[in-house]
Amino acid sequence: MKEHTWVSSRNKRLSVMVHTPAGFTEGTPVFVFCHGFTGDKIGANQLTKNLADFIEQLGYGVVRFDYAGSGDSEGDFAKDTSVVGWRQDLESIVTWVHEQSDFKQSPILLYGHSLGGLVVLTHPADDRRITARIVFAPVTQVVENFRDIILGQDLWQQALRGESIKNFYGRAFTLNPQFVEDLVTNTYSPTDNLVDTKQPMLFIHGTADNVVPLVGTQLIHAAYRGQKELAITDFDHVAAGQQQELQQIIGNWLANQLPRAMTTTQERGKA
């Protein structure tokens, strides 16, 4: 069952779709989905929606949402898009999920794609509401990735001069300079953020990804000291034509890792 609702964040309403499987009971895990740059809660080729439907069929709850300024949420993409803002939106959603009577006892798992993967990986490591994290093609070397590939050197320098930029990476979007300023000012280091957590973590990345280099995922996977798995596939950045394979990787990992994640959550609750 899917229901739409609104959640407040940054003085704006975020558009949220909640998937509740038949027979949902207290304590059933709930996923929170984080979409990528210029994306939305449906995803390219309905990637995010289809994955949410798949996970709902497995018996888990799913909450997918649009960041402020993206998709159906209130706000303006040009001025409301930044990693710092997206991290605030994720915190608002996690808090909302935890406050719902149906989900209050549910472990929360985070899933992020692309830049949403960076948001998931840099969500506070000490957030005890979070049980596990899954990232697909995550941005991990954020300055290099946006400067050298997604925006390019010319637009990057233009933004550093305080100018708005547009039409980057074949997308007809406009972006004010706060996005680049945020990346330069703040250190978004997944490795540093996750040093104190041992949560189960699944990294997925494809060798045909021309948007976000595979090497960044390989490096953070190697550095992470918690329970982890790295699935290297032949996917492109959005698993075009291979969504079922992506879903199966996640489904198999959940079957193997979620019982352990649940045990970890119970042990934290007794501490």
For residue 266, what pLDDT band results from cuts at 50, 70 and 90? very low
Is-contact 159 179, C-beta < 8 A?
yes
Question: Is pLDDT at 42 greater than 80 in this prediction?
Answer: yes
Say what the pLDDT of residue 258 is. Answer: 75
Q: In this predicted model, what pLDDT tens digit does every residue of 190-229 receive, in sequence order? A: 999 888 888 999 999 999 999 999 999 999 999 999 999 9
Domain boundaries, the chain: 2-141+190-270
227-256 average pLDDT score: 97
Say what the pLDDT of residue 196 is. Answer: 80
Say what the pLDDT of residue 146 is. Answer: 97
For residue 99, count CB atoms less than 10 angstroms from its CB and return exposed for 0-12, middle for 13-18, buried for 19 or more: exposed
Say what the pLDDT of residue 265 is. Answer: 47
Say what the pLDDT of residue 217 is. Answer: 98
For residue 257, what pLDDT band results from cuts at 50, 70 and 90? confident
Question: Is pLDDT at 170 greater than 90 in this prediction?
Answer: no
Cβ neighbours of residue 100 under 8 Å, at least 6 residues apart?
Answer: none
Question: Is pLDDT at 151 greater than 70 in this prediction?
Answer: yes
Q: In this predicted model, what pLDDT tens digit does every residue of 104-142 receive, in sequence order? A: 999 999 999 999 999 999 999 999 999 999 999 999 999
54-69 average pLDDT score: 97
For residue 268, what pLDDT band results from cuts at 50, 70 and 90? very low
Kindly report whether the global pTM for this prediction surpasses the value 0.85: yes
| Helices assigned H by DSSP within the chain | 47-57, 77-80, 83-99, 115-121, 142-145, 153-160, 178-185, 190-193, 214-223, 243-270
What is the 3-state composition of the chain as percent helix, strand, coil, each rounded to the nearest 5? 40, 20, 40
Q: Which fold has domain 2-141+190-270?
A: Rossmann fold (3.40.50)
For residue 261, what pLDDT band results from cuts at 50, 70 and 90? low
227-251 average pLDDT score: 98
Say what the pLDDT of residue 18 is. Answer: 98
Q: Give me the percent of the chain exceeding a pLDDT of 90.
A: 89
Of the candidates 136, 107, 137, 112, which has an alpha carbon nearest to the alpha carbon of residue 123?
112
Is-contact 97 14, C-beta < 8 A?
no
Say what the pLDDT of residue 262 is. Answer: 56
